[in-house]
């Protein structure tokens, strides 16, 4: 009984520490949950999709130079989607949903587009705000961000 009690206390202490570390990480720039600098805009070729695995997003640059940050989690049950360059699509490995380069869904079982994050510009730098996941039903062109 005493042993179990002690184990529980350790478990609670670890949970508490984990919570503190989690909160600290969320407040840091440059990590998932904060503002992530992707790089200089010119580094991203128009018509390209670049993976930022630790940021949990793909940075899409469309043919006319606009940017979109697409969340890498499938809206169906949360599996991590993969970008397949040869097909020009995102694929979910769990139940075979696919999405075009803008994250628009193309088949069931998923029923909405991939989530996005805000893209911001700081001079030539492209930054992605991963503190807030933006849900959407479908892709629309006004979701593309352009440097002014």
CB of 58 to ligand FES, least distance (A): 15
CB closer to ligand FES, 136 vs 145: 136
- Largest Cα–Cα separation, the chain: 67
CB of 31 to ligand FES, least distance (A): 25
CB closer to ligand FES, 114 vs 119: 114
Interface residues with ligand FES (CB under 6 A) are: 74, 76-77, 79, 92, 94-95, 97, 109-110
28 alpha carbon, distance to own chain's centre: 17
N- to C-terminal Cα distance for the chain? 66
CB closer to ligand FES, 6 vs 137: 137
Strands (E), 3-146: 35-40, 48-52, 57-61, 67-71, 82-84, 89-91, 98-99, 116-122, 125-134
Residues 127, 48, 110: CA angle, nearest 5 degrees: 85
CB of 97 to ligand FES, least distance (A): 4
CB closer to ligand FES, 114 vs 144: 114
């Amino acid at each position: 009984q005493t042993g179990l009690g002690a184990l529980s206390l350790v478990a609670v202490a670890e949970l508490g520490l984990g919570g503190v570390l989690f909160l600290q990480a969320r407040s840091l720039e440059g990590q998932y949950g904060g503002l992530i600098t992707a790089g200089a805009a010119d580094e991203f070729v128009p018509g390209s999709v670049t993976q930022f695995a630790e940021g949990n997003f793909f940075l899409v640059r469309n043919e006319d130079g606009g940017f979109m940050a697409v969340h890498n989690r499938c809206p169906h049950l949360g599996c991590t989607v993969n970008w397949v360059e040869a097909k020009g699509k995102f694929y979910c490995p769990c139940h075979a949903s696919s999405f075009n380069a803008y994250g628009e869904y193309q088949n069931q079982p998923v029923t909405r587009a991939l989530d996005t994050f805000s893209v911001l510009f700081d001079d030539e730098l492209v930054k992605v705000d991963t503190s807030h996941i933006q849900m959407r039903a479908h892709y629309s062109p006004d979701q593309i961000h352009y440097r002014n």
